[in-house]
Amino acid sequence: MATNKITSRPFATGPLSPMDAVVALYGEGQDETARAIVAALNRRIFEGAPPRPSNLLRRALGRFAFRLMNRTTTCETRTGPDGHPVAVYRNSILERSGHPYASTLLEPSRADTASFVEGAAPMNAVYMMLIPEIYKNAGTWDHIMLDAVQSRDVQWRLVWETRMTHDLASRRLRAGQAVRLKAAAAGTGLSMILVTERLLQEGYDPRLISVSITDREPGNIEKALRLINKLPAAGGHLALHTGSPHGIVLHIEDLLHASSKTAHDARFDVVTAMGILEYFPGFTLTTTEEHLGLEPPDGGPQAVDVVAALSAMTAAGGFLITNSFRTCSAIRTMEVFGKRFRYRAREQMQDLLATGGFAPTGRAESGNIFDVEVFEKKNDV
């Protein structure tokens, strides 16, 4: 049962900052520390009250930060080594901070492609702020970067994604049914790893649990595998080969170019797709280009293409957990640094997912920016 307070338990290796924790999770060695971090995340997510989205004061500060970044950031376009245009951002405030998250915002990005930043190491540091014993060691810039309005909503989103996935999986397992889980375009797959570790520790039959974690970036899959190998339950559940009827399988996969074997032959009971659809146009409430008075990009994949891929990998009667993405000044700070978003409220998201045969189940949670919602696959379209 959820409680309102989680007791802080100091790490045996000493105090950890958020970035220290990310290094321990995804770097070589520090197995004991990584296990302690995962245990602390599990306590926070499953035994504590969900974090609250930012209050009015924080949102006001977020609006101020947006205006400040908008005034103090410059951008120039250069030609990268591969001949493609590269946007280079400069901001003296962020540069002086020396914070890794700031470096992620400022680093050059391809001007003609969407930037999927969810799996980057500094982005995972946002999740570490959920842990009381790490939060209290956070510095001033950690709080500014990792606990602002958007970051707080990202933490909140992880909690509900993880809880909802666990609830749907455990419902099948309690009935003695096998469950097939997939985290699509999952970055380092932290939520699904937490779910798997929890289910196995709760004593469910490992032979009934099949897990697929995919991402298009090889580095993210390597990090996920490194973390899983540090965990007592999940590490022992790695599948011996990709055709295994149970266990955890990790592989590189571009969601829009998934092979028929991964997308169609093996359908899943629960699919998670978080932080993805906001990069693709169609069924939108508004877009970054509309905010900035820019022409919308021509061509390229559409949101309905992503939904079709998700539908193809979801079993009839299975569930999709995903998020809508609403505009506010806090998230628009990311637009200053070249990120391009397609904003949808729940209504637009429901209309979009209906194109793939998905219908809302009525289970949803709403923050300031994200809505996390469960959809059921009613039929193939």
Which SS3 state, helix, strand or coil, does residue 240 take? coil
pLDDT of residue 78: 81
Locus of tokens 């996390």 = 372
Provide CB contacts within 8 A for 188, sequence distance 6+: 26, 119, 124, 215, 220, 223, 224, 227
pLDDT of residue 259: 58
Q: Which of 202, 197, 190 is nearest to 158 (CA)?
A: 190
Phi and psi, residue 345, nearest 5°: -90, 180
Q: With respect to CATH, is domain 149-377 assigned 3.40.50.150?
A: yes
Q: What is the C-alpha to C-alpha distance for residues 29 and 46, in angstroms, rounded to an integer? A: 27
pLDDT of residue 92: 93
The rounded average pLDDT for each run of 10 residues, N- to C-terminus, in the chain (381 residues) is 46 79 91 94 92 89 92 87 82 91 73 38 86 93 90 94 98 97 93 96 95 92 93 82 77 79 69 96 93 86 96 97 91 87 96 98 94 93 68
Which SS3 state, helix, strand or coil, does residue 325 take? strand
pTM: 0.90
Q: What is the C-alpha to C-alpha distance for residues 358 and 75, in angstroms, rounded to an integer? A: 41
Q: Which of 122, 128, 145 is nearest to 62 (CA)?
A: 145
pLDDT of residue 37: 95
Q: Which of 230, 233, 196 is nearest to 213 (CA)?
A: 196
pLDDT of residue 121: 59
Residues 217, 251, 240, CA angle at the centre, nearest 5°? Answer: 150
Q: What is the C-alpha to C-alpha distance for residues 283 and 252, in angstroms, rounded to an integer? A: 28
Q: What is the C-alpha to C-alpha distance for residues 81 and 143, in angstroms, rounded to an integer? A: 35
Phi and psi, residue 270, nearest 5°: -135, 125
Which residue(s) pair with 323 in the sheet? 372
